[in-house]
Amino acid sequence: MNAPTITNITTIATAPSGIPLLVVRVDTSEEGLYGLGCATFAWRWSAVREVVESYLRPALVGRPVTAIRDTFHLAHRNAYWRSGPVLNNAVSGVDMALWDIAGKRAGMPCCDLWGGAVRSSVDVYTHANGQSVEELRESVARLADEGYRFIRCQLAGYGPRAEAATGAASVISPSDRIASIVDMFERIVPDLPDGVRTLHDVHERLHPTDAMQLAEKLDRFDLFFLEDLFAPESVDWFRRARERLRTPLAMGELFCSPAELNTLVEEGLIDYMRVHPSFYGGITPCLDLAVRCEAKHIRTAWHGPGDLSPVGAAANVHMDFAAPNFGIQEWVIRSELEYEMFPGLPAVKNGRIEPPTAPGLGVDIDLQLAERYPAGVEPTRWTHTRFDDGGLTYP
């Protein structure tokens, strides 16, 4: 029997929590059969939508839904120039949707298509934040009471907010930032409930010399991992860190191409791979990446922020259950509206997610509800962080 073919590819842009989300829907020649995928690039979502609807749709309509890997490579290479966040998110939307369709046709969750679940639950970590250490301590205690055992601690986000007149989103004094983060952990760690581990995200916002100084000072706090200590291209600094630090390092959310991460993986310079699946091109390349990382004893910790659609969050969970080298899953606490708009969105109980049971990715979308919360103009100031001398930081 011939496989169904792609008959249409459309996008749904919505913002149930104020962050633009872009979901791709792939319709097929089989009545009632469709798939959903995540293509969310919140800061450039309209550019991704244009690529999906003006370029990928005419190139892919008519192809069999079973040709997932071939379709991924065709979509990735069709413009000749490859990778990048706009193209990869567009490709991801289609790729995830085709895997969703494959699971639905087989009548099984996607993780079962990839060999079946290799664990009974997955651990997640979520975010605690506060403008002061006191606020942060309250946030940590509340999350621990809800059953979270892994909590990322951030003081004033990624840096103090700036006055609007500066044109910056926040302003960082490297010396003050280092001192405040060390002080934060000195005051938070002694009061942690039993069994709770902390994490921290530097977000590349310090010069490598300052970042190394911070990391060395944090070594004594036994963090679960330290994230984005350096920019992806700072390979030599990762080598130095490997020699000097005991804290596990996590990296990856800015990667869009295997070429960017080859050295870090091959030399085992990180402990947790933090790729954002839609920015990497979808499920197909991430499954390959997980296997590569397993060979180097690097564990997965797929990026899972608020600017990830619930469809993408579900894709992460399916890959978590299928990967022997799963480490942990980032998880933002979703609103009731998001659970209503995206029925089937995985739920967290006592800091863990249970195995998915619905066919495919298991998440649908209420189109009428999504239309009531349209995505607005893309944010433009989030990455405008500056040092106290006025120079731009990394993101």
Determine, yes or no, domain membership for 387: no
Please compute the mean of the pLDDT values over residues 170-194 and round it to a whole number: 93
Cβ atoms 202, 393 nearer than 8 A:
no
Say what the pLDDT of residue 391 is.
87
pLDDT-based confidence at residue 166 (cuts at 50, 70, 90): low
Say what the pLDDT of residue 162 is.
62
Determine, yes or no, domain membership for 371: no
Higher pLDDT, 198 or 384: 198
Is 384 in the active site?
A: no
Determine, yes or no, domain membership for 106: no
- DSSP 8-state class, residue 327: -
Please compute the mean of the pLDDT values over residues 60-89 and round it to a whole number: 96
Domain that residue 209 falls in: 112-360
**Calpha distance 157→261 (Å, rounded):** 26
**Calpha distance 302→281 (Å, rounded):** 13
Q: Which of 76, 127, 200, 203 is catalytic?
A: 203
Determine, yes or no, domain membership for 103: no
Cβ atoms 306, 36 nearer than 8 A:
no
Mean of all residue pLDDT scores within the chain: 94
For 85-135, how does the pLDDT look when each residue is reduced to its tens digit (9 = 90+)?
999 999 999 999 999 999 999 999 999 999 999 999 999 999 999 999 999
Determine, yes or no, domain membership for 213: yes
Determine, yes or no, domain membership for 319: yes
Residue 139 has pLDDT above 80, yes or no: yes
Is 158 in the active site?
A: yes
Please compute the mean of the pLDDT values over residues 251-256 and round it to a whole number: 94
Please compute the mean of the pLDDT values over residues 237-254 and round it to a whole number: 96
- The fraction of the chain above a pLDDT of 70, given in percent, is 97
Please compute the mean of the pLDDT values over residues 358-387 and round it to a whole number: 89
pLDDT-based confidence at residue 382 (cuts at 50, 70, 90): low
Determine, yes or no, domain membership for 198: yes
pLDDT-based confidence at residue 207 (cuts at 50, 70, 90): very high
Say what the pLDDT of residue 165 is.
58
Say what the pLDDT of residue 221 is.
97
Query: The tokens of 66 are what?
Result: 């079973």
Q: Which of 34, 148, 158, 272 is catalytic?
A: 158
Say what the pLDDT of residue 385 is.
83
pTM of the complete model: 0.95
Q: What is the CATH number of the domain that holds 192?
A: 3.20.20.120
Is the C-alpha dihedral spanning 170, 174, 178, 180 positive or negative?
negative
Total tally of structural domains belonging to the chain: 1
Determine, yes or no, domain membership for 170: yes
